[in-house]
Structure 1
């Protein structure tokens, strides 16, 4: 695949992976992206997952013919991108590896060497000339590992963005970018919004015409759309006005109350009402929707004097990613000592800028006239 006249794609598609990073369902696979810049000197940008070592090396051999790469630039040491450093450096023994000091520390941990006689250590503001192409390096710590650098090609105005602007899904599958990019961002990078904001400020000073991430498609058109979404996500602002109902239910009574609330909200004209049964849904999808929309209803049973495990897990997923700037409401169920609402609220006590709804629905075993009235009151409040 040609990115520009001098920049070629040598990545791979993975349709065998079932869980990315051991937890994210990827029904359409993953792409591990690598690039080659052809100039007076040749630079290879990152490697790919270990399972695709031979395919990747074969692509490079086919592209280069008798030429050898001068530089291997490692922006990010996560193994889905760095796994083939040792194989590459063994094959091309006159190549210099270029990376940050922290990356070289990790390199030695992974491979037993940091190639001390064949390394160039880069930092914020470092540049590397290939001929016509000059690469400018920008530090991007904690987006999403501490060693990350991104690279700007001043000639073709291409930003090699590491894991930034990536998404789930292989490149040979057509799907909406935002949905899987959102789930990817919130799940993997979401904790580090402040660091992403810092990187966006640096990117604003660059004339970027193409973004080449380490996962997902190359972005060439309407870059303002992608940058705007990243700004929204990393500043923890709601992307859309809507209400997510996340619940757990043991015998169906809490589910009945949630379904009633969803019906009431839709009757009142709420544009987006999304319901997740946390015991059955993809947890990453539920977390994605909680960050996408402006309001969240948490509904669960009192369990062992606390809250149901799937609900606790869900809330911890939110707080681990700095959930904030939302309205949150509670529904609790209990047969003798309902405490779930208090428990859920306590898990959110360190979250910033949350507005808690005035009305809480309390179900004593099953819906009653009183708890139905509470559902109606909560629906009124959420739809204001």
Structure 2
């Protein structure tokens, strides 16, 4: 059994675990590279466990916990977030340390009883309250809807450490490295943005509120519940979350198409080629039937240009494209230039639906719309080229 724990500072230990077995996070989002569930243990004058892990990893957590505490008791279990990937092992910890005091806010207590039937031994904290651990103190700040209503963070006044729950986290198991100065950021950046766009992005307004609330703190380290511990450059992940939650985008275009027999993809290829001729270097193309929406959303969050193309299916959008559009709407994605195109055989519907989607968004819409009957003609492809030229023009404006 892996009992590895990592010392962060005096009396503060990383006792998180990696999950490379789960295929889908929240049973929706692919975990091709796994994910970490981070838990932290303070063993100073008093002892405090900060969050637990998914129940499937409870044995690993308890082994690390008892390995450090030995015969000492656990005084507190601080619960920053009640989603079961972090709260799933709470009952097991309580069974092992029945006198432990659970620390959370009022909504935390409601979830504890609803999920696990746990009552009693609970210390309710509110905005600005502190927990005295003897040689250090934790001060609590409420961050509701980042990304659950009970979500909160705590700040260690001694070492200037922010325990940030899901905020500032990311996908990807920690394959040996634990700290930001140990990882290959080229890999983790995309997985961190994918986590933000898939899980947190819908609540970007609340993320902005949380960032502004925490600006007054002198943060030297960030310990999230997913992804690396930011001990070297915590300002880097704050800046990225600030950028993403402001919907700031880079120059580039994501082209997503839905096709049954290849005709719509020919139109997409034309658009991509003309974009390249117009000097756009960041072009991402996806067949919506082949690439999971998780990865597409990640790129859409990054780049300003978005071009959607769909064949008509039962007088409407091709079902995988309809799903993508629904996810974009659900995540309240903003600040894009949008172009649309499509094809049909005997009756249209896809392009009409994409136009309807455009009307629901606050996007800069390109009115040049192409809808080919069966196979695209030379004239249709010329119109596709015009979409590309107009997209490039607006991106460079």
Which interval holds the TM-score relative to the shorter structure? over 0.9
- Per-residue CA distance 1:306-332 (angstroms, 9 max, x = gap): 111111100111110111111100112
Tell me if 1:161 matches 2:164.
Answer: yes
* Runs of at least 4 residues off by over 4 Å: none
Q: Note if 1:259 corresponds to 2:269.
A: yes
**Aligned residue in 2 for 1:94:** 99
Deviating more after overlay: 170-179 vs 245-254: 170-179
Contact 1:161 1:211 in 2 (8 A): yes
Pick from 212, 217, 224 the counterpart of residue 213 of structure 1. Answer: 224
Pairwise CA distance, 1:89: 1.1
Q: Which residue of structure 1 lines up, in the alignment, with residue 143 of structure 2?
A: 140
Aligned-residue offset at 1:111: 1.4
Could you tell me which of 128, 132, 151 is aligned with 2:131? 128
For the residues of structure 1 that align with 2:301 and 2:223, how far apart are their CA atoms?
25
Shift of 1:75: 0.7
Moved more, 222-231 or 246-255: 222-231
Deviation at 1:224, TM superposition (A): 2.4
- Which residue of 2 is the match for residue 231 of structure 1? 242
Task: Tell me the CA shift for residue 66 of structure 1.
Answer: 1.6
Shift of 1:222: 2.4
| Kept after mapping to 2: 8 A contact 1:332/1:338 | no
Name the residue aligned to 1:314.
324
1:339 Cα shift?
Answer: 2.9
Distance 1:365 1:350 in 2: 28
Q: Which residue in 2 is equivalent to 1:355?
A: 364
Determine if contact 1:312/1:344 at 8 Å carries over to the other structure. no
Asked whether 1:189 is paired with 2:200, we answer yes
Residue 8 of structure 1: aligned partner: 13
Q: Write out per-residue CA displacement over residues 53-72 of structure 1, whole angstroms, 9 at most, x where no aligned residue.
A: 12111111111112111100
1:245 paired with 2:259, answer no
How far does residue 243 in structure 1 lie from its aligned partner after superposition?
Answer: 0.5
Query: TM-score, with normalisation over the residues of structure 2?
Result: 0.93
Residues 317 and 353, structure 2, Cα contact 8 Å, conserved in 1: yes
Deviation at 1:177, TM superposition (A): 2.1
Q: Secondary structure at the match of 1:383?
A: helix
The number of aligned residues is 380
For structure 1, the residue ranges without an aligned partner over 5 or more in a row are none
User: Who is 2:380 aligned against?
Assistant: 371
Between the aligned partners of 1:53 and 1:332, the Cα distance in structure 2 is 50
**Alignment partner, residue 173 of structure 2:** 170
**Who is 1:331 aligned against?**
341
Alignment-derived partner of residue 34 in structure 2: 29
2:254·2:284 contact (CA, 8 Å) conserved in 1? yes
TM-aligned CA deviation for residue 113 of structure 1:
2.2
User: What SS is found at the alignment partner of 1:178?
Assistant: helix
Following the alignment from structure 2 to structure 1, what is the Cα–Cα distance between the partners of residues 16 and 146?
A: 21
Q: How does 1:98-109 map to 2 (within 5 A)?
A: 98-109=103-114
**RMSD, aligned CA:** 1.3
Question: Which of 313-322 and 361-370 deviates more?
Answer: 361-370
Aligned to 1:297: 307
User: In structure 1, how many angstroms separate the alpha carbons of the residues matched to 2:235 and 2:355?
Assistant: 37
Q: Which residue is 2:353 aligned to? A: 343
Q: Aligned partners of 2:137, 2:168: CA distance in 1, in Å?
A: 22
Q: Give secondary structure in 2 for the equivalent of 1:349.
A: helix
- The question of whether the paired residues in 1 share the 8 Å contact of 2:308 and 2:339 is answered with yes
**SS of equivalent residue, structure 1 residue 242:** strand
Deviations 1:31-55 (A, max 9, x none): 1110011221111101111011121
Q: Which runs of no fewer than 5 residues in structure 2 stay unpaired?
A: 1-5, 177-182
Whole-Å separation in 1 of the counterparts to 2:376 and 2:46: 72
CA distance in structure 2 between the partners assigned to 1:303 and 1:18 by the alignment: 30
Which residue is 2:3 aligned to? none
